Amino acid sequence: MTHNNDLAKKLKKLAKEGNIVPDLALLKTPEQIEKIKKSAALNTAVLDYVEQNLKAGISTEDINTMVYDYTTSHGGIPAPLNYEGFPKSVCTSINDVICHGIPSKDEILKDGDIINVDVSTILDGYFSDASRMYKIGTVSKRAAKLVDITKECVELGLKEAKPFNHLGDIAYAINSHATKNGYSVVPDIGGHGIGLEFHEDPFVSYVTPKGSEMVLVPGMMFTIEPMINEGEPDFCIDEENGWTIYTYDGMLSAQVEYMVLITENGAEVLSR
Among positions 129, 160, 213, 230, the unique one binding ligand MF3 when judged by CB under 6 A:
129
Rounded distance between C-alpha atoms, residue 16 and residue 21, angstroms: 10
Amino acid letter, 140: S
Instruction: Determine the interface stretch with ligand MF3 among 3-11, 42-50, 80-88, 138-146 (rule: CB under 6 A).
Output: 80-88
Q: Of the candidates 62, 96, 107, 118, which one interacts with ligand MF3 according to CB under 6 A? A: 118
DSSP string, 47-73: HHHHHHH--TT-BHHHHHHHHHHHHHH
86 binds ligand MF3 (CB under 6 A): yes
Residue 68 binding partner per list ligand MF3, Co ion, none, with a CB distance cut-off of 5 to 8 Å that depends on partner kind: none
Q: Is 132 in the site for ligand MF3 (CB under 6 A)?
A: no
Closest CA to 253 of 94, 63, 101, 92: 94
Of 130 and 215, which has the nearer Cβ to Co ion? Answer: 130
Q: What does the angle CA 136 – CA 119 – CA 249 come to, to the nearest 5 degrees?
A: 55
Name the minimum Å distance from CB 151 to Co ion.
16
> What does 154 bind: Co ion, ligand MF3, none (CB cut-off 5 to 8 Å by kind)?
none
Cα–Cα distance for residue pair 175/169, rounded to 1 Å = 10
Cα→Cα distances 249→55, 74, 183, 231, 264, Å = 27, 41, 13, 7, 43
Contact with Co ion (CB under 5 A) among 118, 169, 213, 230? 118
Residue 177 touching ligand MF3 (CB under 6 A) = no
DSSP assignment of 111-153: TT-EEEEEEEEEETTEEEEEEEEEE-SS--HHHHHHHHHHHHH
257 interacts with ligand MF3 by CB under 6 A: yes
Which of these segments, 75-83, 122-130, 160-168, 262-270, binds Co ion (CB under 5 A)?
122-130
Q: Please name the amino acid found at residue 44.
A: T
- Toward ligand MF3, which CB reaches closer, 47 or 173? 47
Q: What is the DSSP letter of 158?
A: H
Residue 129 within binding range of Co ion, rule CB under 5 A:
yes
Taking the complex as a whole, the smallest distance from the CB of residue 2 to Co ion amounts, in Å, to 37
Closer residue to ligand MF3, CB minimum distance, 114 or 139: 114
Q: Specify the 3-state DSSP secondary structure of 21.
A: coil
In the list Co ion, ligand MF3, none, the entry touching 96 (Cβ below 5 to 8 angstroms by class) is none
Binding marks (x or -) toward Co ion, 75..114, rule CB under 5 A? ----------------------------------------
Contacts of 132 (CB under 8 A, 6+ apart): 47, 51, 116, 117, 256, 272
258 lies in the binding site for ligand MF3 (CB under 6 A) = no
39 is a site residue for Co ion (CB under 5 A): no
Q: Are 271 and 258 in contact (CB under 8 A)?
A: yes
- Site residues for ligand MF3, 190-219, by CB under 6 A, read 192
DSSP state for residue 264 in the 8-state scheme: S
- Site residues for ligand MF3 per CB under 6 A: 80, 83, 86, 91, 100, 118, 120, 129, 192, 223, 225, 257
